[in-house]
Amino acid sequence: MQNSTPSLPKKPHIAMLIFLSALSPVALNIFIPSMPNLTQSLGTTHSIAQLTLTLYLVAFAVAQLIHGPLSDRFGRRPILLVGISIYIISSLACAFALNIEQLIIGRIFQAIGGCTGVVTTRAIVRDLYERDKAASLLGYMTMVMALAPLTSPTIGGFIDQYTSWRGSFYFVSAFGIIMLFAAYKALYETNHHLLASINIAEILSKYLTLVKEKQYIGFVLGMAFSSSIFFSFIAGAPFLVTKILHLEPSVYGFYFVMVSTGYMTGNFLTGKLTRRLGSYKMFMLSNIVLSIALVILLYVSYIGISQPAYIFVPMAVVACANGLAIPTAMASALSIRPEIAGTASGLAGFTQIAAGALATFIVGYFHDGTTLPMIASMVAGGALSILFFIIMVKKD
């Protein structure tokens, strides 16, 4: 009897990876327009209702530290399938929540499940492609992913208007079910070097290994502080539009299109230019674009922000710089220790979200009725990002 050699499984289509990585961003952003109705429906306060966002981010950040090592040990596919299942169940639990406490718990588990999509898809790309090609693909992936924060609030507002705040969670549950079926049928395992075992000491040892890598730290901190600019913006911009400029909340959504377009432009350029220029030149290009944006921000802050374009235009330039830097930094960081790419992805994601959570806390804590806390946090994050990319990242 002849032994037939099985053919290698096909690489997953980039569209599938994009939708899988969008699970958590969609769940985070689609819910925001429903906050006022939720607060009234569950008889809670605005500050307590905000915990459904804050604790979501905290859970998302911490879960990445766990999912990364687990995907290195057990494989990308099983961790992803389990994570999506948790995402679906917790989304339904949110839809049926009877009080704010139940909703907060559901949101925490929704973040834990949804973040597997982000961690595993990044690691899958690194499993299959060399660094510059991975950066190019991540650029295209994040370009399309930028549509999530752009379109999700619009969809969520429409659902809330014609159903209730619970409708968004039904929508997210359906999205999760579709992606679970697609991943089960078409996504094959890409991690062919599974770790023999894993324990807490081993996980900590891997993180310590990564922390000792100067290049890795440079990529991750540069990316994290670059991301913090965006989180500072979303923490302060809605207040600016509604309370300082006295405009309708819908104006925020209208102008936010500029920010998403800027980010998508940067991602598109990353996909086109990374293999031609190399990672180092892409970082320098992003530094130049970001520096221009920071100068504009300082100028408009000095003359006074009298209309939304004064803050949204420079933020669109910041977003373009982020689109250039973040996918390149992520691909480069995962290339430092490719044998533990899942762990590296988890730590990088944790740092990125933690920096964002810190930025939103700073803007809220120092809130004084002006745009100063937001602008100061944005400029500080941008300056630190440029500093880490210049000092700690070497030429290709």
pLDDT, tens only, 209-223: 998 988 899 999 999
Contact 106, 90 (CB under 8 A): yes
Same domain, 104 and 249: no
**What is the Cα–Cα distance from 26 to 3, expressed in whole angstroms?**
46
In a domain, 306, yes or no: yes
Residue 164, classified by CB atoms within 10 Å of its CB into exposed (0-12), middle (13-18) or buried (19+), is: middle
Full domain range(s) for residue 153: 13-190
The Cα–Cα gap between 381 and 359 comes to: 8
Question: What is the Cα–Cα distance from 376 to 147, expressed in whole angstroms?
Answer: 27
**Residue 361 pLDDT more than 90?**
no
Residues 212 and 350 in one domain: yes
Q: Structure tokens of 268?
A: 């598109």
Please count the structural domains in the chain.
2
Q: How many residues does the chain have?
A: 396
Regarding whether 76 and 221 lie in a shared domain, the answer is no
Distance CA 168, CA 170 (A): 5
d(CA 72, CA 342): 6
Helix (H, G, I), strand (E, B) or coil at 187: coil
pLDDT at 394 over 60: yes
Of the pLDDT bands very low, low, confident and very high (cuts 50, 70, 90), residue 345 is confident
Is the pLDDT at 151 greater than 90, yes or no? no
Whether residue 198 is contained in a domain is answered as no
Query: Contact at 8 Å (CB) between 23 and 175?
Result: yes
Q: How much is the pLDDT for 236?
A: 76
Last residue of a domain, one of 158, 190, 222: 190
Q: Tell me the H-state helices in the chain.
A: 14-21, 23-29, 35-41, 46-49, 51-74, 76-95, 100-128, 131-145, 147-162, 165-186, 200-211, 214-239, 249-277, 279-303, 309-336, 341-365, 372-392
Does the structure show a pLDDT above 60 at 40?
yes
Does some domain include residue 25?
Answer: yes
Do 183 and 42 share a domain, yes or no?
Answer: yes
Distance CA 392, CA 394 (A): 6
Same-domain status, 182 and 222: no
CB 127 within 8 A of CB 76: yes
CA distance 273 to 158: 38
Tell me the C-alpha distance between 320 and 142, whole Å: 12
Q: Is residue 308 part of a domain?
A: yes
Q: Is the pLDDT of residue 113 over 50?
A: yes
Report how far residue 155's alpha carbon sits from residue 23's, in angstroms, rounded to the nearest whole number: 15
The whole-number pLDDT of residue 301 equals 84
Task: Determine the Cα–Cα distance for residues 287 and 293; give it in Å rounded to an integer.
Answer: 10
In a domain, 281, yes or no: yes
CATH of the domain at 167: 1.20.1250.20
Residue 235 near residue 364 (C-beta atoms within 8 A): yes
What tokens were used for 101? 């406490």
pLDDT of residue 50: 72
235-256 pLDDT, tens digit per residue, is: 777 777 767 887 766 676 678 7
pLDDT at 9: 54
What pLDDT, on a 0 to 100 scale, did the predictor assign at position 300? 87
The percent of residues above 70 in pLDDT, for the chain, comes to 88
Which candidate, 369, 376, 377, 360, places its Cα nearest to that of 53?
A: 360
pLDDT tens profile 65-102: 788 788 888 888 999 999 999 999 999 999 999 999 99
> Span 30-41, mean pLDDT?
78
Higher pLDDT, 28 or 341: 28
Do residue 274 and residue 337 come from a single domain?
A: yes
- Let me know if residue 125 belongs to a domain: yes
284 and 178 fall within a common domain: no
26 and 174 housed in the same domain: yes
- pLDDT of 200 > 80? The answer is no
Q: What's 242's DSSP letter?
A: I
Q: Distance (Å, rounded) from C-alpha 309 to C-alpha 257?
A: 12
For residues 178 and 225, state if they share a domain.
no
User: Are 174 and 295 part of one and the same domain?
Assistant: no
Kindly tell me if the per-residue pLDDT of 36 is higher than 80.
no
Identify whether 199 is part of a domain: no
Q: List the one residue out of 37, 52, 71, 63 whose CA is nearest residue 354.
A: 63
393 and 298 share a domain?
yes
CA torsion 112→118→120→126, rounded to 10°?
A: -150
Q: How many CB atoms lie within 10 A of CB 284?
A: 16
Give phi and psi for 240, each to the nearest 5. Answer: -60, -45
- Assigned domain for 330 exists: yes
Domain end, chosen from 120, 155, 190, is at 190
Do 183 and 216 fall into the same domain? no
